[in-house]
């Protein structure tokens, strides 16, 4: 394939797509959404909200959601199949926890290994009860509280999903629920809840964020335009930076500061990434990005930036493998409990493609090729462990390799980026 050129537009932001469906389903009236990501994860959220009483239909380029109101969720008649979506599972557990209904959550083999105890703990304090599989995993059953209790909860790990689960449980809880964030994580829930009319306040005290939400909320329907997903754009940003001759414009990319860490790190490495037409859509900052081929230099990545790019580290590792010098990452224990153990899986995959690296307990140390293409994998297939981001990251590594990279299974890519392969072919044609 040749360099990446022209203009492309990546699918809608996954985090915002999930929340637009959930919050629309909790508003009274019709919420209309354009740019919704139609991947399997978001469709799992839509199916679950339909099962609990909301009407969700596609009409042309628009999705229309007729909600049931906070407190109005209905008892689902069958188990809620979350597929591969950790976001759907943890946020919906929060919603169910303070409604007087019972729901069973199931998922695929990958999701069924992921820990849910970090959500079960605070939601139990609010009055919900749980029956989980060994290790606090799926399948699990949630019995929502008949009368929920507001709590003050300090997040033990930096997790937007845990924070959001508690805030969503707080929507149908009398009084004020407080979440204390020692380390800021992506704030789409806070922005969108305010947009839907929830009473939500944020204070900064001694470097910590304290989020207050008043329960028994009355959410108002909205018209939402979903910006392009920065986590999806990340693959094309790195591909253009490492493929000689590339000059690519990626339109309509969400640049929420709690999500834009990868762009900052790649610029520190010498990547040329320019922003044009910066604007705000639905409370979210958006811009078009022009990315041109650059000689990257290895750096020590500040662990404090990890929460703002936690999903982008697999593709950053690819960029590091092609940079001049050594890139060191640390503070990434969270990557071991994603769709796969992303530190271990990426270390194995990149080694198979010819990269030189060491795997540490909390990160990777990668010695780059100085711009020389990776060897590739010839006839061996890289194991992706049902992880969409591993599959896409190694596809980008294949672009920058001599023999290409064979991937064992591209099907998981559909969970977040259904047209990834078609868009990559378009950009390199």
Which residues are annotated as part of the binding site? 14-15, 19, 86, 114, 159, 161, 311, 338, 342, 389
Cα distance between residue 34 and residue 226, in whole Å: 6
Angstrom distance (rounded) from CA 113 to CA 216: 34
CA 275, CA 158: separation in Å to the nearest integer? 28
Cα of 317 vs its chain's centroid, Å? 18
Contact 37, 226 (CB under 8 A): yes
Catalytic-residue membership of 187: no
Kindly give the pairing relationship between strand 80-81 and strand 102-106: parallel
Displacement of CA 37 from its chain's centroid (Å): 12
Report the sign of the C-alpha dihedral through residues 8, 11, 14, 19, in that order.
Answer: positive
Binding-site positions for 3-phosphoshikimate read 14-15, 19, 159, 161, 311, 338
Extract the annotated binding site for phosphoenolpyruvate.
Answer: 14, 86, 114, 161, 342, 389
- Spatial distance between the Cα atoms of 234 and 265, rounded to a whole number of angstroms: 12
**Of 137, 24, 33, 17, the residue nearest 88 (C-alpha):** 17
Q: Is 298 helix (H, G, I), strand (E, B) or coil?
A: coil
Catalytic residue among 311, 324, 344, 356: 311
Q: Report yes or no: 357 and 347 within 8 Å, Cβ to Cβ.
A: yes
Q: Are 395 and 407 in contact (CB under 8 A)?
A: yes
Give me the count of residues in the chain.
Answer: 429
- The candidate with the shortest Cα–Cα distance to 234, out of 120, 392, 123, is 392
Return the beta strands (E) in 200-300 as ranges.
Answer: 200-205, 208-214, 223-225, 247-254, 272-281, 284-292
Other residues' Cβ atoms within 10 Å of the Cβ of residue 83:
21
Q: DSSP letter string over 75-129?
A: PPSS-EE-TT-HHHHHHHHHHHHTSS-EEEEE--TTGGGS--HHHHHHHHHTT-E
Number of neighbouring beta carbons within 10 Å of residue 244: 11
DSSP-assigned states of every residue in 184-203: ----HHHHHHHHTT--EEEE
The token pair that represents 53 in the structure block: 């009483």
Point out the residues that are catalytic: 311
């Amino acid at each position: 394939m040749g360099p990446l050129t022209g203009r492309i537009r990546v699918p809608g932001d996954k985090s915002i797509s999930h929340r637009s469906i959930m919050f629309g389903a909790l508003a009274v009236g019709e919420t209309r959404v354009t740019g919704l990501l139609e991947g399997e994860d978001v469709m799992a959220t839509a199916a679950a909200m339909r099962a609990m009483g909301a009407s969700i239909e596609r009409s042309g380029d628009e999705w229309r959601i007729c909600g049931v109101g906070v407190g109005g969720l209905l008892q689902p008649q069958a188990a809620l199949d979350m597929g591969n979506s950790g976001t759907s599972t943890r946020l919906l557990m929060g919603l169910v926890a303070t409604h007087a209904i019972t729901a069973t959550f199931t998922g695929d083999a990958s999701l069924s290994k992921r820990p849910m105890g970090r959500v079960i703990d605070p939601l139990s304090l609010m009055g919900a009860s749980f029956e989980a599989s060994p290790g606090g995993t799926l399948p699990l059953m949630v019995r929502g509280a008949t009368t929920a209790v507001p709590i003050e909860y300090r997040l033990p790990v930096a997790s937007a999903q845990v924070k959001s689960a508690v805030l969503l449980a707080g929507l149908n809880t009398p009084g004020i629920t407080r979440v204390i964030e020692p380390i800021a994580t992506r704030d789409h829930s806070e922005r969108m809840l305010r947009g839907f009319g929830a009473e939500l306040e944020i204070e900064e005290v001694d470097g910590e964020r304290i989020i207050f939400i008043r329960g028994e909320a009355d959410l108002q329907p909205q018209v939402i335009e979903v910006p392009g997903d920065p986590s999806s754009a990340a693959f094309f940003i790195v591909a253009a930076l490492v493929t000689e001759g590339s000059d690519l414009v990626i339109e309509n990319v969400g640049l929420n500061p709690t999500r834009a860490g990868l762009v900052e790190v790649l610029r520190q490495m010498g990547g040329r990434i320019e922003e044009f037409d910066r604007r705000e859509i639905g409370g979210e900052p958006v811009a078009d990005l022009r990315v041109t081929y650059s000689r990257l230099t290895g750096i020590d990545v500040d662990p404090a930036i990890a929460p703002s790019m936690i999903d982008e580290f697999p593709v950053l590792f690819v960029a590091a493998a092609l940079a001049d010098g050594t890139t060191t990452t640390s503070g990434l224990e969270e990557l071991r409990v994603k769709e796969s153990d992303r530190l271990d899986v990426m270390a194995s995959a990149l080694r198979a493609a010819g990269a030189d690296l060491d795997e540490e307990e909390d990160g990777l140390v990668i010695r780059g090729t100085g711009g020389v293409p990776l060897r590739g994998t010839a006839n061996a297939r890289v194991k992706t462990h049902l992880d969409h981001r591993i599959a896409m990251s190694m596809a980008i590594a294949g672009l920058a390799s001599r023999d290409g990279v064979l991937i064992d299974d591209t099907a998981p890519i559909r969970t977040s980026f259904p047209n990834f392969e078609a868009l990559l072919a378009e950009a390199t044609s």
